[in-house]
A and B are shown apart, each in its own frame.
Chain A
Amino acid sequence: MTTAPAQAGWRFRQPSVIPGFGLTLGFSLAYLTLIILIPLSGLVWRSASLGWAEFWAIASDRRTINALEISFGTAFLAAAVNVIFGTLVAWVLVRYRFPGRRIVDAMVDLPFALPTAVAGIALTTLYAPNGWIGKLLMPLGIKVAYTPLGIVVALVFIGLPFVVRTVQPIMEEIDKEVEEAAATLGASRFQIITRVLFPGLAPAIITGFSLAFARGVGEYGSVIFIAGNLPYKSEIAPLLIVIRLEEYNYPAATAIAAIMLALSFVMLLVVNLVQTWSRKRYG
Chain B
Amino acid sequence: MEVRVANVRKEFERFPALHDVSLDIKSGELIALLGPSGSGKTTLLRLIAGLERPTRGKIFFGDEDASQKSIQERNVGFVFQHYALFRHMTVADNIGFGLKVRHGSSRPPAQEIRRRASELLDLVQLSGLEKRYPAQLSGGQRQRVALARAMAIEPKVLLLDEPFGALDAQVRRELRRWLREIHDRTGHTTVFVTHDQEEALELADRVVVMSQGRIEQVGTADDIYDTPNSPFVYGFIGESSSLPVKVENGEIWLADRPIGLSAPHAPEGDATLYFRPHDVELLDGCSGCIAGTVAASRRVAGTRRVELEIGGERQRVEIELPVDHPAAQKSRVAFRPGRWKLFPAA
Please report A residues at the B interface, Cβ cutoff 8 Å.
1, 175, 177-178, 180-188, 191, 195-196, 199-200, 202, 281-283
Q: List 26 A-B contacts (CB under 8 A).
A: A177-B80, A177-B82, A177-B84, A178-B84, A178-B86, A180-B71, A181-B84, A181-B146, A181-B149, A182-B86, A183-B72, A184-B49, A184-B50, A184-B72, A184-B78, A185-B97, A185-B150, A187-B97, A188-B101, A191-B101, A196-B86, A200-B88, A202-B88, A282-B87, A283-B133, A283-B136
Q: How far is the CA of A177 from the CA of B136 in the complex (A)?
A: 20
B135 within 8 A of A: yes
Given contacts A184-B78, A187-B97, contact A282 B72 (CB under 8 A): no
Residues of B within 8 A of A195 (CB): 97, 101
Residues of A within 8 A of B77 (CB): 184
Closest CB of chain B to A25's CB: distance in Å? Answer: 29
B115 within 8 A of A: no
Please report B residues at the A interface, Cβ cutoff 8 Å.
49-51, 71-72, 74-78, 80, 82, 84-89, 97-98, 101-102, 133-136, 146, 149-150, 152-153
Chain A: CB-nearest residue to B81: A177
Closest CB of chain B to A119's CB: distance in Å? Answer: 37
Closest CB of chain A to B11's CB: distance in Å? Answer: 20
Residues of B within 8 A of A175 (CB): 82, 84
Known: A180-B71, A184-B76. 12 other contacts (CB 8 A): A177-B84, A181-B86, A181-B146, A181-B149, A182-B86, A182-B101, A183-B72, A185-B152, A186-B101, A200-B87, A283-B87, A283-B135
Closest CB of chain B to A86's CB: distance in Å? Answer: 21
B86 A188 Cβ-Cβ under 8 A = no
Chain A: CB-nearest residue to B159: A184
Most chain B CB inside 10 Å of its own CB: which residue of A182, A185, A281: A185
A181 B87 Cβ-Cβ under 8 A = no
Chain A: CB-nearest residue to B89: A199
A180 B84 Cβ-Cβ under 8 A = yes
Q: How far is the CA of A78 from the CA of B74 in the complex (A)?
A: 43
B97 A184 Cβ-Cβ under 8 A = no
Closest CB of chain A to B53's CB: distance in Å? Answer: 13
Residues of B within 8 A of A196 (CB): 86
A281 B80 Cβ-Cβ under 8 A = no
Residues of B within 8 A of A281 (CB): 88, 133
Closest CB of chain A to B49's CB: distance in Å? Answer: 6
Residues of A within 8 A of B101 (CB): 182, 185-188, 191, 195
Chain A: CB-nearest residue to B95: A185
Residues of A within 8 A of B87 (CB): 200, 282-283
A-side binding surface: helix, strand, loop or mixed?
helix
- 10 A-B pairs closest in CB distance: A283-B135, A185-B98, A177-B84, A181-B84, A282-B88, A184-B78, A187-B101, A199-B88, A183-B71, A177-B80
Q: How far is the CA of A175 from the CA of B82 in the complex (A)?
A: 10
Closest CB of chain A to B305's CB: distance in Å? Answer: 40
Given contacts A187-B101, A281-B133, contact A181 B88 (CB under 8 A): no
Chain B: CB-nearest residue to A280: B133
Q: How far is the CA of A221 from the CA of B29 in the complex (A)?
A: 70
Closest CB of chain B to A110's CB: distance in Å? Answer: 33
Q: How far is the CA of A142 from the CA of B49 in the complex (A)?
A: 52
Closest CB of chain B to A181's CB: distance in Å? Answer: 4
Most chain A CB inside 10 Å of its own CB: which residue of B50, B74, B78, B134: B78
Cβ-defined partner of B136 (8 Å) among A1, A187, A191, A202? A1
Q: How far is the CA of A196 from the CA of B134 in the complex (A)?
A: 14
Residues of B within 8 A of A183 (CB): 51, 71-72
Q: How far is the CA of A186 from the CA of B154 in the complex (A)?
A: 12
Given contacts A187-B97, A281-B133, contact A180 B153 (CB under 8 A): no
Chain A: CB-nearest residue to B97: A185
Residues of A within 8 A of B135 (CB): 1, 283
Most chain A CB inside 10 Å of its own CB: which residue of B84, B88, B97: B88
Q: How far is the CA of A187 from the CA of B72 in the complex (A)?
A: 7
Closest CB of chain A to B182's CB: distance in Å? Answer: 18
Q: How far is the CA of A267 from the CA of B97 in the complex (A)?
A: 35
Residues of B within 8 A of A177 (CB): 80, 82, 84
Cβ-defined partner of B51 (8 Å) among A184, A186, A188, A191? A184
Chain A: CB-nearest residue to B73: A186
Chain B: CB-nearest residue to A200: B88
B136 A182 Cβ-Cβ under 8 A = no
Closest CB of chain B to A203's CB: distance in Å? Answer: 10
B98 A186 Cβ-Cβ under 8 A = yes
Cβ-defined partner of B80 (8 Å) among A1, A181, A191, A200? A181
A180 B80 Cβ-Cβ under 8 A = yes
Residues of A within 8 A of B150 (CB): 184-185
B97 A182 Cβ-Cβ under 8 A = yes
Q: How far is the CA of A16 from the CA of B88 in the complex (A)?
A: 30
Closest CB of chain B to A226's CB: distance in Å? Answer: 39
Q: How far is the CA of A175 from the CA of B89 in the complex (A)?
A: 15
Residues of B within 8 A of A188 (CB): 72, 101
Given contacts A177-B84, A195-B101, contact A186 B136 (CB under 8 A): no
